[in-house]
Amino acid sequence: MRSSLAPGIWLLRTFSRDSWYRGFILLLTFLIYACFHMSRKPISVVKSRLHQNCSEIIQPPNATHDPNDTTWCNWAPFDQDNYKELLGGVDNAFLVAYAIGMFISGVFGERLPLRYYLTAGLLLSGLFTALIGLAYFWNIHALWYFVLIQICNGLVQTTGWPSVVTCVGNWFGKGKRGFIMGIWNSHTSVGNILGTLIAGVWVDGPWGLSFVVPGIITAAMGVFTFLFLIEYPEDVDCSPPQHHGGPEENQNNPEDPGSNPYSHQERSLEAVAGSSKELSAEPAAISFWGALMIPGVIEFSLCLLFAKLVSYTFLYWLPLYISNVAHFSAKEAGDLSTLFDVGGIMGGILAGIISDYTNGRATTCCVMLILAAPMLFLYNHFGQNGITISIVMLIICGALVNGPYSLITTAVSADLGTHKSLKGNAKALSTVTAIIDGTGSIGAALGPLLAGLISPTGWNNVFYMLISADVLACLLLCRLVYKEIVAWKSVLSKDTGSCLALTPTR
């Protein structure tokens, strides 16, 4: 007598072959970019170890330091009074290189095989991350060494974002893109959390391992990527996604051209007539200027500049802020700062769900940015009044700050990269993603730099700078928010008209 089919096997069979491949690609690209972010995070944790208050630290019995030396526990060249400016310069070396490289990376990403491109980026990123940690074991104290390695790391890390977004865009259509990518984009926060926790294990001991271990993990992911990444569904005989024209999109975007805030005012009949020809021929890669002219790219790019300024200031300076203001140890401050990223995961998913339901990407971002400004003010003034208050406010701030950042860099970038004006040319996805994230990376470079320059005058001034950036980010989306509101009114008026037409007269 045979038993019935095992429940687990029955469950596995309910998913189609395409679903398994799509799930695998989503998981693999999630892990890839989590590794990229994991390798960036250790520097923010180790900062508080590179410069400490040596009067609070007991010298080891075999120490040979001068008793009058107040910097004996610090790591040169960060043992000077201007250590905040030096650390800010090291951060900025990475971020400026990342911002510059991002504009170039998208162009290469469209013209090179993604599997090779990502593999090289992960291997080199792992190498340069480990080289920073080796400064501890090789007893290197030259500022130029840290700056040079950070520049190299910033350049190679630009291979990551355009490539993973392009890969996911190749596999997933527009339907529920905000929700799917909201969950998927938690790789940023997961990577930050992993980088913080791994670095925290060794920060009070041989801090070089705080960089070496994440570097090894990142390089290992590069090998895994080379072995398993699939760039296109067609490579494994899966059906390609439908970016436009599906029933869901037709429902949310009626025939009125104003219903889509990012659409041209005229439909392109030639795109429909020539769709079969376009599918048979390999589309040409779009130019930088052509991608920039896609409706919505400029506004969202500039918005991301200020949104990312706030997010990356927290990424690089939050552990030091907590350590200085709340007087926690380096490890405790690093662990507590991970709650900001926990909130970021929640905010990214929430922003994706809301924007999918309302079909209003810009409005969702704008509302979260408006709420973020007063929350940052409250956290600065009341966030250190108790551990419970600090935890709750860090999570809320993380959700409101990283929610718009997550939505713009994922669902919005993918929407614009597969815009109808491109007539089915998905080759624009990498370039559009690079333009948006590259512009945002300028803000990511400015934020930590300004924090390093402003923090000696007081942390209050740093938070005023962050609040101002949030307000500016919100203002830049006003035109798109207005168009989304007009689109909603158009849909409501049509629905109301349909209901009145169906109502029998008495």
Question: Which DSSP state fits 153?
Answer: H
pLDDT at 262 over 60: no
Does the predicted TM-score (pTM) go above 0.85? no
Distance (Å, rounded) from C-alpha 105 to C-alpha 441? 13
Distances in whole angstroms, Cα of residue 401 to Cα of each of 165, 277, 406, 471: 21, 44, 9, 12
b vs e for 12-49, b when ≥16 Cβ sit within 10 Å of the residue's Cβ? Answer: eeeeeebeebbeebbebbbbbbbbbbbbbbbbbbbbbb
Taking only the tens place, the pLDDT of each residue in 355-381 is 888 888 889 999 999 999 999 999 988
Of 334, 364, 38, the residue nearest 182 (C-alpha): 364
**Which comes out higher in pLDDT, residue 116 or 87?**
116
Can you give the residue ranges of every domain in the chain?
Answer: 13-52+75-240+288-493
Taking only the tens place, the pLDDT of each residue in 279-307 is 444 555 566 677 777 778 888 999 999 99
Taking only the tens place, the pLDDT of each residue in 174-227 is 655 667 777 888 898 899 889 989 998 998 888 999 999 999 999 999 999 999
* Per CATH, domain 13-52+75-240+288-493 is 3.20.20.140: no
Evaluate whether 74 touches 50 at the Cβ level (below 8 Å): yes
pLDDT at 39 over 80: yes
**Which comes out higher in pLDDT, residue 497 or 83?**
83
Distance (Å, rounded) from C-alpha 241 to C-alpha 248? 13
